[in-house]
Structure 1
Amino acid sequence: MRAFVKLTGFCLLIYSIYLLGHNILFTTNVYPYWWRGIAADVSVLFLAIGVLSIVFLPDEFKEIGWVSTAIGILAVFMSSRAILNPTSLWEFFLAFMVMAIGYKLFSTGRVPLL
């Protein structure tokens, strides 16, 4: 039963990320010269390295992952555009409620509202 509750919490976390993220679009600009589009590739590379470092490396190397993730996020905003579509207050509230409940279920295995 505890594994089912944790799986439900994980699914709710994934769903909340979808609810928050489906209104964010990342676009890249087309440049006439080859070196101007490298920053978009660098952002994807550094974000992937950062996430993999945070998840899989031992605790003493987590700083590498956080620095790499920060460089990747900075490169996203330097090389491309992030378009934030409007979202309703209700959808924002629902996404954060689902995220909080999902995290509580996933981390403790207990139903937070009961």
Structure 2
Amino acid sequence: MSRLLIKIIGLGLLILGIYFFAQNVIIFNRYYGFYYQFRANLSSLAIISGIFSLFFFRRETGNLGWFLLAAGLVLVILSGRIYLRPMSLWNLLMALGSVVFGYQLLNTGKVRF
């Protein structure tokens, strides 16, 4: 198989695993004024910037990407309420397997068990 097809399959599996996890996370944002909405928007911007820098500029901004990702997660916790719905064991295994195998395919091009 070509390397591009393997990368596309890996990216698809990674997105599928994240989708399985994201189905069970509910974020409620409390709106009491400008300050709370600012923190919610800042958290979204920090998470998106961190993921973008880790995927596309890992060598140049690797540590900054992890810092932005951590700061965004802290701001999400501070700006709203996060509820985690119960997840069945089957869904958990599917999500973890998809994320792990997708990441391995994306980085190495092969899956090691």
Q: Normalising TM by the smaller chain, what interval?
A: 0.7 to 0.9
Matches of residues 92-111 of structure 1 in structure 2 within 5 Å? 92-110=92-110
Match of 2:29 in 1: 28
Segment drifting more, 1-10 vs 90-99 = 1-10
Q: How many equivalent pairs are there?
A: 112
1:9–1:106 Cα contact (<8 Å) kept: yes
Asked whether the equivalents of residues 10 and 106 of structure 1 are also in contact (C-alpha less than 8 Å), the reply is: yes
* Other structure's SS at 1:81 match: strand
Q: TM-score, length-normalised on structure 1?
A: 0.81
| Cα RMSD for the two superposed structures | 2.1
1:61 and 2:23 correspond: no
**What are the ranges of 5 or more consecutive residues in structure 2 without an aligned counterpart?**
none
Q: TM-score, normalised by structure 2?
A: 0.82
Deviation at 1:102, TM superposition (A): 2.3
| Structure 1 gap segments, 5+ residues each | none
Say whether 1:18 aligns with 2:19: yes
Q: Give the distance between the partners of 1:76 and 1:58, measured in 2 at CA.
A: 24
Percent of residue pairs identical: 32
Name the structure 2 match of 1:41.
Answer: 41
Q: Relative to 1, partners in 2 of residues 1:36 and 1:4: Cα closer, same or farther, differing over 3 Å?
A: closer
